[in-house]
Structure 1
Amino acid sequence: MPRPALYSSSRPARSRAPASVAAPEAPVPTAPPPGDAAAATAPATHPPAIRRQLLALWALVLLLAALLAASAWQQRNPAARRITQEDIDAAVLRTLETTTPPSAAARAVESIAPSVVRVVGYSRSKNGKEEIERGIGTGVVIVDKGVILTNLHVVAGAERIGITFHDGLETTASLTGAQPENDLAVLQAHKVPDDLEAATLRSTQNLRPGDHVVAVGFPFGIGPSASAGVVSGLEREFTSPEGKRQLSNLIQFDAAANPGNSGGPLVTLDGEVVGIVTAILNPTPARTFIGIGFAVPIENAASAVGMPPF
């Protein structure tokens, strides 16, 4: 729809004299006196001296106007000095001294945040009248059509799966795939945001102990939350306290993770997903983080949805 004009391009017509006002009577022409016939037919002109003075005056006015315009232009547009490398270095140094750039971990979180979702599994109470939360975890979008990776133990046995996207959109999801040997589940969201972003996946081939990583998720349902640490080891094994899960070829890390982080992404400082957080070592019933977490390598996670290896 065209935008209406803010201003009209037409000009108002000049007002005419009201009809009630009489026009002045034209003077009655009189015959020129004898001998002045030439003066009557010649146009009225200024004497040459006065004409020269007027021309000089107009020339002076134009010169003053030009000088004033030039002075104003110079004030607004001073002559530009050639910029040197020293000028550039000084400007960069001033910027660094006066501006605090975000940390590498903050940039990683900002990059992955639009792809992180909250996952909740619901089931009916014993009397079948109420719907209760049976598991809270995290997921990561790996295809922008709403394909989500999470842990199988977060949604196993759930009668309904709820998803909350980064922009606050809430919807349900269906379980479309599972890889029990790696505790992985594939979900398909029933509705997705218009601008949904999929995470960038990165091979663990060059991952080394000591590399910095960030875990993003919903520990105890709080979040999204982020914690930073390093890769502590590779090709680790884990057995759940109940002995029901035995996982191998895991990434060990020390970024803080707690119940609710399960299914969330483990990312590099570039914001690229290298693993799916799946477990923490719990030698006590407290179920709190003691410094050792485990993640399934993204290669295994990608194979769960039939994606080609890196």
Structure 2
Amino acid sequence: MTQNNGWSYGGNDGVTDVTRPLQNVNGQASYQPANQQQGQNAYPQAYASPGYTYPQAAAAQVASAQSAPQNTDNNKRYGAGVVLTAALLAALVGGGVGAGVGGGIAASNNSSSSSSSRGSVSSNISNSSTVAGVAETAKKVLPSTVTIMASSGSTSGGGSGVVLDKDGHILTNHHVVTLESSREASTIEVRLSDGTVRTASVVGLDSAADLAVLKINPSGLDLQPITWGDSSKLVSGEAVVALGAPYRRSESVTAGVVSNVNRVQPADAKGQNYIPMIQVDVPINHGNSGGPLVNLKGELVGINAQGQASQDGGTADGMAFSITSNYAKRISSEIIAKGKATHGYLGASVKNSPADTGSGSSKLIPGGVEIASVESNSPAAKAGLRSGDVVIEADGHAVTKSDELNGTVRAAAAGSDLKLKIKRGSSTHDITVTLGDADSQK
């Protein structure tokens, strides 16, 4: 049994089967879901502790922030009651509240309202000019940020989302609107920044990407679409801002910096699909799931998705993950156009490649994953990949672990070209693979 980024893996000697939708590096993830009980919302142990504190004292307040007006037409206010069930989650936990790894905003049938905290800012940034930039950024992006409530029977949860266009399309996480199941919740509502609440329909779900596109009726609404940014241009240390509704505190703002721009994380607790993410030190809590991560220009660079669980079952300070905007843009655009998105398929099994140390032991090569096998007539076979080849780069990025290659393949659309640099014996080769469709292999 090995540990990888908070996930426990066991099983099949480190071989990843990429002939099917991509699996985790060292086998299936060992995961104990939150204990769901009828009439209760299930929450991971990591967030169930009564001693948990919200992000530290605000470093700034959004300029000219005002309380959101009440929506008298809908007259809907989110309940303040929260029922917690203790369950072990020794893994990554989603930034939503509800069931298991994700969910979103906790909600019971209690109809009492929680106070509005529009524009409140918590920041890991101390530079005064940057803090001022955070406030201006938040003022710009809050109108594009929404709160999402989902319910199915006695189970409810929710999270955050972003307005994509004037037509009423909303982007959020898959786990927010499915309450950690494989189906959409029976009722989904979207609360806009002006307090308006609209029922939403599901345009498309993508569990492999942990993304979902909703649609609300735009009639009579002054929707403010988010501006897309280019996540590939982010650099470590760059200031970023997360917006959303942690613990029902809608329109909350936290800020920090990019810790790493090239992480690959499991999309769900099963660890079967890996997706490209940005690691940040921004506080991302339950209810932030699906909300925007933006740069100081107010451009969307990520969709907040996960926090990191600590060894004691709590949450690791200063470590959270957002799905890259470039990936989210492709997935959401395909869903809006076709109702579903595609994912790349390589058709090879890969494993972390051991190197002989000369002492009878082995260690991982600090750059490269080995092709364990190639499926007949697959994209990998057609491109000339062979068993024993060591992939050292994918689309110009160094590959050191199996999940990095898996994430790159899954991030690409079916039919797109993937450029690989491989070592074969003592020689190096450049190979271009035209990827197949992973969904067709299920």
* TM-score for the superposition, normalised by structure 1: 0.61
Corresponding letter in the other structure for 1:247: Y
Q: Is it true that 1:141 corresponds to 2:163 in the alignment?
A: yes
* Paired position in structure 2 for 1:46: none
* Paired position in structure 2 for 1:120: 149
* Paired position in structure 2 for 1:54: none
CA distance in 2, matches of 1:247, 1:170: 34
Q: Is it true that 1:188 corresponds to 2:210 in the alignment?
A: no
1:247 Cα offset (Å):
3.0
* Paired position in structure 1 for 2:324: 297
CA distance in 2, matches of 1:278, 1:292: 12
Measured on the aligned residues, the alpha-carbon RMSD in Å equals: 2.5
CA distance in 1, matches of 2:212, 2:287: 15
How big is each residue's C-alpha offset from its partner over 1:128-168, in whole Å with a ceiling of 9 and x where there is no partner? xxxx52x2200000112211100000001310101100111
Q: Is the 8 A contact 2:210 2:268 kept in 1?
A: no
How big is each residue's C-alpha offset from its partner over 1:55-96, in whole Å with a ceiling of 9 and x where there is no partner? xxxxxxxxxxxxxxxxxxxxxxxxxxxxxxxxxxxxxxxxxx
Alignment partner of 1:205: what SS? helix
Size of the alignment, in residue pairs? 203
Return closer, same or farther for 1:171/1:285 CA change in 2, 3 Å cut-off: farther
1:284 Cα offset (Å):
4.9
Q: Is the 8 A contact 2:304 2:322 kept in 1?
A: yes
**Identical-pair percentage:** 35
* Paired position in structure 2 for 1:283: 310
* Paired position in structure 2 for 1:7: none
Corresponding letter in the other structure for 2:132: S
CA distance in 1, matches of 2:148, 2:302: 17
1:240 Cα offset (Å):
7.0
Q: Is the 8 A contact 1:148 1:188 kept in 2?
A: yes
Return closer, same or farther for 1:107/1:282 CA change in 2, 3 Å cut-off: same
Q: Is it true that 1:269 corresponds to 2:291 in the alignment?
A: no
- 1:90-169 superposed matches below 5 A: 103-125=132-154, 132-133=155-156, 135-156=157-178, 157=183, 158-169=185-196
CA distance in 1, matches of 2:310, 2:241: 23
CA distance in 2, matches of 1:248, 1:185: 14
Return closer, same or farther for 1:242/1:193 CA change in 2, 3 Å cut-off: same
* Match of residue 205, structure 1, among 226, 232, 248: 232
Return closer, same or farther for 1:284/1:240 CA change in 2, 3 Å cut-off: farther
CA distance in 1, matches of 2:197, 2:272: 31
Q: Is the 8 A contact 2:255 2:282 kept in 1?
A: yes
Return closer, same or farther for 1:241/1:144 CA change in 2, 3 Å cut-off: closer
More strand by share: 2
Return closer, same or farther for 1:233/1:256 CA change in 2, 3 Å cut-off: same
Return closer, same or farther for 1:240/1:107 CA change in 2, 3 Å cut-off: same
* TM-score for the superposition, normalised by structure 2: 0.43
Deviates more, 1:253-262 or 1:190-199: 190-199
How big is each residue's C-alpha offset from its partner over 1:99-128, in whole Å with a ceiling of 9 and x where there is no partner? x99800001101101110000111113xxx
1:200 Cα offset (Å):
0.5
Corresponding letter in the other structure for 1:119: I
Corresponding letter in the other structure for 1:120: M
* Paired position in structure 2 for 1:247: 274
* Paired position in structure 1 for 2:197: 170
* Paired position in structure 2 for 1:58: none
Corresponding letter in the other structure for 2:134: A
Corresponding letter in the other structure for 1:151: N
Q: Which has the larger radius of gyration?
A: 1
Q: Is it true that 1:236 corresponds to 2:256 in the alignment?
A: no
Alignment partner of 2:290: what SS? coil
1:189 Cα offset (Å):
0.9
List gaps (5 residues or longer) in structure 1: 1-99, 126-131
CA distance in 2, matches of 1:104, 1:140: 21
CA distance in 2, matches of 1:300, 1:124: 33
